[in-house]
Structure 1
């Protein structure tokens, strides 16, 4: 496919293309996604704290998170089919409203009589929110493909990494501050963030889908099979999806273990928040560098940098499993992760046809399918069984194996710089 064929209908040549920031629809989608991310991050910070307060057990707190994340397990694959066959604008709006309502019920229960939130209620709200998140994530990626030019995708994905970093940066201090004031305040912010996304998406004028008639003519099961065939027919995706699935399990399980360890030792919520802030500082710094790195450095090299630096940080935390050891190591751990995420996602989005965007993004969500429910159990069980020091060494050993396995992924080393991506576009 030529560069001209890779452009969306009606696009002008690259040399006369307007700035990404002059794209009204992109700005609206970015605003909504930012509010949604901040709300989700604050809520995610508060869930294990509230779960521990309800149950008094780190294992039971992990089980609550496990049950809550099962929503993403059930929705991940069907989400792609749904995103490709329904109006994405209405889908984002309806999903956001449902998630906001789920957290609103937790708020009402919490206000009724102090901490009257029950474990099943908290798990149910998280279940609904995670299911909606698994549906809206591919919808958001597909929406970007509809309103952002191919040559701007790398920049847009880098900005998305900065958005995620800002949410992570606010997660700890804002979540800790709000939770310290009232158990329900973080969940108020979660609901409000979803509602902001509903409003901004309603203001987008461009259609966020292609030919819905053709998509709906295909049976949903056949559409699901077609999406899976497409993703697993791409050598790069077929090889890396399992690798990054395990990376997510190790990374998220480690963060659960650290947070629950600090909770169980009586660390103040505000100080626990600083641990998550350290991650946000590293990701935000990396996001500033991501745009330039994606343009100049191959995805394979970014993978080596991201996994290598993170592996060193995990070893440091295993050697110094203390509060300040966690803060110091986590600050630098994620430095190259934003560039890797932006490079990989923008490449895959660039080569995927519009009609397959939802199913592609949802299938990539398989990397979080296992991590979502499994990581809380891995982190809590390791912490309860062997303690924080031995748990960190287990995570360090697992990370080393994953780093070495990455060198065996040969398709990763064939991806060129962005100016070659149009030639790789698939029909």
Structure 2
């Protein structure tokens, strides 16, 4: 899980190859499987997701090996992820001011080169914990610039009516990558501890190549945005988010959700690694979670079409609380494997609904900034989750990790259930009614 207003016609026609939601047209958009720019972007991102999943699995284990301490491993991961936190807001401004295709190509190429230094240093026997932390930092900065560019690109090549399906497909893509990434990461980590990092190199390189092959415009005329001073553009984006109660509430609460969920999963990984569980078996845990996410992505479109966002969010988080509470009670490997699959089942539906709604109501020239601001809920959790997991694990073991973070997740679920603006969001057929104009400077 990562992430209303008066109705108006969105001022995004210059940013999209498709008509505004409010314009009169009877022409049905082509299926996504025939949408060439969408397929190219998805192909690159699928490869990136798989490579990133393999690498993500191995990084905590590698950090633990290099430092010998769960807390120190958490610090390495936290330092590495602060880059995304620092770059998130500037990245959104840049994504709305430059050619998004070039930004995706450049960001992915830089990330590929950085991960290549880890592979090289590991092969030469000179890899250190701080080298790993610095590469994580640099790669997270590159990703921070890539994500809002991709978000804006999706809105430019996918019609509003197909956004829920497109985002649910993206959730399924990540689920398949996660399902394969864990076991592959475990096998490759057993071969040599830096081999899984090759996945990140290949994934980022393919993303750059596929984006370069997209010929359609991924944004329109950016002259107006370039005319704004960067500070003014950033302030405009922040004001846009802050004036909307839904965005304002979810930005803070989803940070807590992501820290709690990420901390629990990282804590379980570190506990299993510390007690001698083979990396392949730890990878099975990730595979089951990803398989459940894949199933969740399949059932997401009908769920999003029938349930209001508030009901879907509370239902998904409630299931997480129940599943992880059972984990805290049992604290055994088999229980982790089964219950993590149960817990994350409805997460893709919430992510698809939230992402689709946000993209549908936001003007095209604001897409990058909005994605970066709302993405802070996930970015802020990246350095916090491993740090929290490491501290709690050293303080009292996996029981303390699970009980503390389950309690935090439960409180946040109740708080989100009380957010009235969340319950006012209807089903996708009504999203166009909430479309927002570009705010005044």
TM over 0.5: yes
Deviation, 1:133, is 1.4
The superposition leaves residues 9-36 of structure 1 with CA deviations (integer Å, 9 ceiling, x where unpaired) of 6649354321121110000000011111
Give ranges in structure 2 of 5+ residues lacking alignment.
1-6
The equivalent residue for 1:64 is 76
Q: Which residue of 1 aligns with 2:321?
A: 311
- The counterpart of 1:49, out of the listed 33, 57, 61, is 61
CA contact (8 A) 1:6 1:422 kept: no
Cα RMSD for the two superposed structures: 1.5
- d(CA) in 2 for partners of 1:31 and 1:13? 30
* Residues 1:409 and 2:419 aligned together: yes
Question: Greater helix share, 1 or 2?
Answer: 1
Q: How does 1:59-138 map to 2 (within 5 A)?
A: 59-113=71-125, 116-138=126-148
Partner of 2:4: none
What does residue 195 of structure 2 align with?
185
Report the 3-state secondary structure (helix = DSSP H, G, I; strand = E; otherwise coil) of the residue aligned with 1:356.
helix
Task: Please give the alpha-carbon distance, in whole angstroms, between the structure 2 residues aligned to 1:280 and 1:17.
Answer: 31
CA deviations over 1:48-103 (Å, ceiling 9, x no partner): 11111111111111111011011111111111001000111001001111000001
Q: Which moved more, 1:23-32 or 1:297-306?
A: 297-306
The TM-score normalised by the length of structure 1 is 0.97
Provide structure 1 residue ranges, at least 5 long, that are not aligned to the other structure: none
Structure 1 match to 2:169: 159
- Alignment of 1:366 onto 2:376: yes
Residue among 28, 32, 46 paired with 1:20: 32
Structure-1 separation of matches of 2:417 and 2:10: 34
List aligned pairs for 1:18-417, cutoff 5 A. Answer: 18-113=30-125, 116-417=126-427
Q: Which runs of 4+ in 1 moved over 3 A?
A: 1-15
Paired residues of 2:178 and 2:290 also in contact (CA < 8 A): yes
Contact 2:18 2:157 in 1 (8 A): no
User: Structure 2 length normalisation: TM-score?
Assistant: 0.94
Structure 2: how far apart are the matches of 1:217 and 1:320? Answer: 59
Aligned length: 425
Q: Give the Å deviation of 1:2.
A: 7.1
Q: Is the 8 A contact 2:182 2:285 kept in 1?
A: yes
Q: Per chain length, whose mean CA-contact separation is higher, i.e. which structure has more relative contact order (CA < 8 Å, sep 6+)?
A: 2
Equivalents in 2 of 1:38, 1:88: separation in Å? 23
CA contact (8 A) 1:314 1:395 kept: no
User: How far has the Cα of 1:369 moved from its partner?
Assistant: 3.0
Would the aligned equivalents of 2:186 and 2:283 in 1 still touch at CA under 8 Å? yes
